[in-house]
């Protein structure tokens, strides 16, 4: 499927400089940029889909962990401690 993009002249020049610095063509540079953006957006979409599934499960089961307990646990872990994992409890 042929695609045509209208790229502002200033952007073309920037792409050309970066492509030259990486010893590649402007075309290959732009294809790589598009690929990187696709990978990032697909990962973001998967992350949000997983979050929606987990929230639906939490609501269905009526159990969760208060956010402050989660943050305290994660901060302790980040500081190298070995805290007790918070337990799920009935949510309102």
| pLDDT of the residue at 92 | 73
Q: What is the pLDDT along the chain (92 residues), one digit of tens a residue?
A: 888 999 999 999 999 999 999 999 999 999 999 999 999 999 999 999 999 999 999 999 999 999 999 999 999 999 999 999 999 999 87
Would residue 23 be called left, alpha or beta, if left means φ above 0 and alpha means ψ between -120 and 50 degrees?
left
In whole angstroms, what is the distance from residue 33 CA to residue 12 CA?
A: 13
Domain boundaries, the chain: 8-61, 62-92
Helix, strand or coil for residue 86?
coil
| pLDDT of the residue at 87 | 94
Angle at CA of residue 37, ends 35 and 42, nearest 5°: 95
Answer yes or no: pTM beyond 0.85: no
């Amino acid at each position: 499927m042929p695609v045509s993009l209208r790229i502002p002249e200033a952007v073309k020049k920037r792409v050309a400089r970066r492509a030259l610095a990486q010893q590649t063509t402007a075309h290959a540079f732009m294809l790589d940029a598009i690929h990187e953006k696709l990978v990032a957006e697909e990962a973001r979409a998967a992350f949000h889909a997983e979050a929606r599934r987990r929230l639906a499960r939490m609501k269905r089961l009526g159990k969760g962990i208060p956010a402050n307990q989660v943050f305290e646990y994660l901060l302790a872990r980040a500081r190298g401690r070995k805290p007790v994992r918070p337990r799920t409890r009935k949510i309102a």
